[in-house]
């Protein structure tokens, strides 16, 4: 590596250590430092969200949400988070007259030509500031349509409402008969007095005992996490509508029938709990030191139980990657970790950055290994 052409001779690892193991350790640590894989984010997304088409186009169809008619107005809004100030392309197509603001500045007002051309044909370049950016759209309902189509790079759109806590998806207001001047300032906070859908309270029910929550009907699997002091023996009851099995960290604890079944949980805490059938777990009064919590962090939801369709036999590893819903029945959205500075890298891996010297070093080691063999 001393004569490797991509580095000055004095920077070669052979000048620092002759030990091959130590050289590999340096390279490995540098690689991990520059290319730390980002974890995926799990977000709550309401079932009645505006759909996103395969090309990344959001269909903001307010007629679908608020009904058809000849007049009226509504706002739609979304939040985009950027890790740095950057310029993004935006494509627009109108179903009706539209006005758009980004961070309080009006960036678009439709024309007659725009309103008669449905496909996203109007191209904009907009600047996202570092941090949260709020995009809000005012649309007028007409006999022809109500809303717009907006194409963004593959970056998630979140609810901008206070208290939404990272829930995914656009939000929209109820139908307005008219729009007063105070709603046209471009300041999103001026719109918070309006009635928004879905409201920020959705998904906020928090309960340590799942019998206080609304669970799905039929057969399903429920997942939660139990935390307790070391050495504790947690007393609980299973209230079941259908027979099933309780699993702790993937191991069966007991089978139960319909009705109430007492159970004692002990071992290494925290532990993952899975209930099959149609059942809820209720902690006893003596178990106040114990608590149920989300099995994985879910932004926008406080439900301590997640639900999924169940198929026999139970496979602990499989149930880390199925489609889960929270207690309201809203699906959970797995968000990748693409950097929104340059959205897709080399086909879309889950690494935030790539260091060129590290890349050519690893390539050189592979080539050296081939020659050595």
pLDDT in tens, the chain (373 residues): 444 444 444 334 554 454 566 566 666 555 555 443 444 567 787 777 787 776 778 899 999 999 887 789 999 999 998 878 889 999 888 889 999 999 999 999 988 777 666 665 788 899 999 888 999 999 999 888 899 999 888 778 889 999 888 888 899 999 999 999 999 998 999 999 999 998 765 544 444 434 334 445 567 888 899 999 888 899 999 998 888 999 998 899 999 999 999 999 998 898 989 998 888 888 886 556 889 988 877 778 888 888 887 776 666 666 655 666 765 555 655 555 433 333 333 333 333 344 556 666 766 776 676 666 5
Contact 171, 162 (CB under 8 A): no
Q: At what angle do helices 20-34 and 356-372 cross, to 10 degrees?
A: 140
Burial degree of 319 (CB within 10 A; 0-12, 13-18, 19+):
buried
- CA distance between the termini of the chain: 17
Q: What is the pLDDT of residue 363?
A: 63
Run of H or E residues at 128:
strand 122-128
Q: What is the pLDDT of residue 356?
A: 56
Contact 366, 24 (CB under 8 A): no
Contact 66, 174 (CB under 8 A): yes
CATH 2.60.120.260 in the chain: give the residue spans: 58-197
Q: Write the DSSP string, 173-219.
A: EPPBS---GGGSSS-GGGGTTS-EES-TTTT----SSGGGS-PPSSS
Buried b or exposed e, range 190-228, using 16+ CB within 10 angstroms: ebeeeebbbebebbbbeeebbeebebeeeebbbbbbbeb
Per the structure block, which two tokens stand in for 343? 């959205």
| Assigned fold of 210-332 | Jelly Rolls (2.60.120)
Of 254, 217, 250, 269, the C-alpha closest to 320 is 250
Q: What are the backbone dihedrals phi and psi of residue 211, each rounded to the nearest 5 degrees, phi first?
A: -70, -15
Q: What is the pLDDT of residue 348?
A: 33
**In terms of CATH architecture, what is 58-197?**
Sandwich (2.60)
Angle at 155 between CA 164 and CA 32, to 5 degrees: 105
Collapse the DSSP code of 303 into the 3-class scheme (helix H, G, I; strand E, B; otherwise coil) and give the result.
coil
Q: What is the pLDDT of residue 50?
A: 83
Task: Tell me the Cα Rg of the chain.
Answer: 27
């Amino acid at each position: 590596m001393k004569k490797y052409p991509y580095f000055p001779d004095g920077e070669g690892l052979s000048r620092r250590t002759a030990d091959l193991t130590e050289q590999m350790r340096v390279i490995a640590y540098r690689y991990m430092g520059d290319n730390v894989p980002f974890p995926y984010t799990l977000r709550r997304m309401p079932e009645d969200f505006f759909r996103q088409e395969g090309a990344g186009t959001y269909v903001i169809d307010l007629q679908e949400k608020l009904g058809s008619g000849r007049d009226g107005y509504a706002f739609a809004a979304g939040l985009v988070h950027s890790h740095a100030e950057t310029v993004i392309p935006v494509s627009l197509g109108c179903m009706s007259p539209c006005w758009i603001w980004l961070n309080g500045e009006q960036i678009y007002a439709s024309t007659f030509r725009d309103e008669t051309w449905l496909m996203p044909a109007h191209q904009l370049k907009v600047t996202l500031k570092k941090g949260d950016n709020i995009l809000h759209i005012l649309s007028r309902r007409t006999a022809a349509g109500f809303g717009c189509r907006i194409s963004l790079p593959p970056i998630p759109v979140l609810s901008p409402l206070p208290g939404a806590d990272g829930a995914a998806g656009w939000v929209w207001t109820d139908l307005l008969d008219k729009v007063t001047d105070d709603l046209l300032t471009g300041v999103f906070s001026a719109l918070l007095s309006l009635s928004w859908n879905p409201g920020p309270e959705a998904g906020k029910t928090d309960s340590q005992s799942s019998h206080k929550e609304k669970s799905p009907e039929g057969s399903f699997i429920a997942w939660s996490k139990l935390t307790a002091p070391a050495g504790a023996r947690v007393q609980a009851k299973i209230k079941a509508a259908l027979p099933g099995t309780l699993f702790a960290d993937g191991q069966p604890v007991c089978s139960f029938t319909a009705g109430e079944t007492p159970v004692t949980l002990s071992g290494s805490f925290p532990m993952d709990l899975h209930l099959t059938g149609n059942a809820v777990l209720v902690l006893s009064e003596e178990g106040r030191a114990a608590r149920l919590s989300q099995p994985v962090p879910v932004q926008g939801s406080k439900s301590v139980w997640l639900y999924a369709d169940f198929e026999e036999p139970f496979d602990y590893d499989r149930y880390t990657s199925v489609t889960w819903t929270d207690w309201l029945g809203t699906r959970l959205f797995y968000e990748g970790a693409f950097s929104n500075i340059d959205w897709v890298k080399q086909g879309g891996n889950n690494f935030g950055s790539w260091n060129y010297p590290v890349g050519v070093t690893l390539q050189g080691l592979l080539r050296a290994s081939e020659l050595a063999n």
